[in-house]
Amino acid sequence: MFDDKNFTKYLNRHEIDAAVQSIANRVNADYEGRQVLLVGVLKGAIVFMADLVRHLKIEHEVEFVRLSSYGKARTSSGTVTILKDIQADIRDKHVIIVEEIIDSGRTLKFLYERIKAAGPASVEIVTLLDKAAKRVVDTPVKYVGRVIDDQFLIGYGLDLEEHCRNLPDIYYLKYPN
């Protein structure tokens, strides 16, 4: 229970770790010998990013961006603005955008196009979770940990009104409450 809402376990820490490891294996194989810049999307991606980098064997730098989020609503608003931008020069870097979950795809589409316009050597997207059926804009996601159903999830960086990001496992909101 949190905030009078009923949550049920969806993915445990071992399942999450297996998904993170399998993404890291692919990235390690694909980016060997390249100048890699990981760009994490604040705030939700912090936990995934922290685990992902510890599975990476390739050399890389880390940056973060913060985009406008859902706020207190549980569905995407449709407009995206930048609250905190990347500090590093991304030209000639192989950029990998790191997101914890994709829903409509609007947030990532916006960031992807913006990074691409800045002239990196390449840009790809990795997400731990993908609500693929919810996609409303076409976003090229190369690495996906798990394709999931449309459910509201919390834990492992995912928040319910800024709470519960610290939970080591992922839970879904059970309707009705």
Q: What is the set of active-site residues?
A: 103
Work out what residue 90 binds among Mg ion, ligand IMP, none; the CB cut-off runs from 5 to 8 Å by kind.
none
The distance of closest approach from Cβ of residue 26 to ligand IMP in the complex, given in angstroms and rounded to an integer, is 21
d(CA 99, CA 109): 12
Q: Does residue 106 interact with ligand IMP by CB under 6 A?
A: yes
| Alpha-carbon separation of residue 87 from 34, 66, 109, 142 (angstroms) | 20, 12, 20, 24
Q: Does residue 44 interact with Mg ion by CB under 5 A?
A: yes
User: Diameter of the chain by CA atoms?
Assistant: 51
Q: Does residue 44 interact with ligand IMP by CB under 6 A?
A: yes
Strand 143-147 to strand 122-130: parallel, antiparallel, or no bridges (unpaired)?
A: parallel
What kind and span of H or E run contains 61? strand 60-67
d(CA 106, CA 101): 12
Q: Does residue 51 interact with ligand IMP by CB under 6 A?
A: no
In the complex with Mg ion, the residue whose CB is nearer, 45 or 95, is 45
Stretch that binds ligand IMP, among 17-25, 84-92, 118-126, 152-160 (CB under 6 A): 152-160
Triad 88, 89, 90: Cα angle to 5°: 105
Q: Does residue 105 interact with Mg ion by CB under 5 A?
A: no
In the complex with Mg ion, the residue whose CB is nearer, 69 or 127, is 69
The distance of closest approach from Cβ of residue 81 to ligand IMP in the complex, given in angstroms and rounded to an integer, is 12
Instruction: Say if residue 100 is exposed, middle or buried (CB neighbours under 10 Å; 0-12, 13-18, 19+).
Output: buried
The distance of closest approach from Cβ of residue 33 to ligand IMP in the complex, given in angstroms and rounded to an integer, is 30
Work out what residue 94 binds among Mg ion, ligand IMP, none; the CB cut-off runs from 5 to 8 Å by kind.
none
**Region at 162 (left for phi over 0; alpha for psi -120 to 50; beta for the rest):** left
Residues at the interface with ligand IMP (CB under 6 A): 41, 44, 69-70, 76, 99, 101-107, 152-153, 158-159
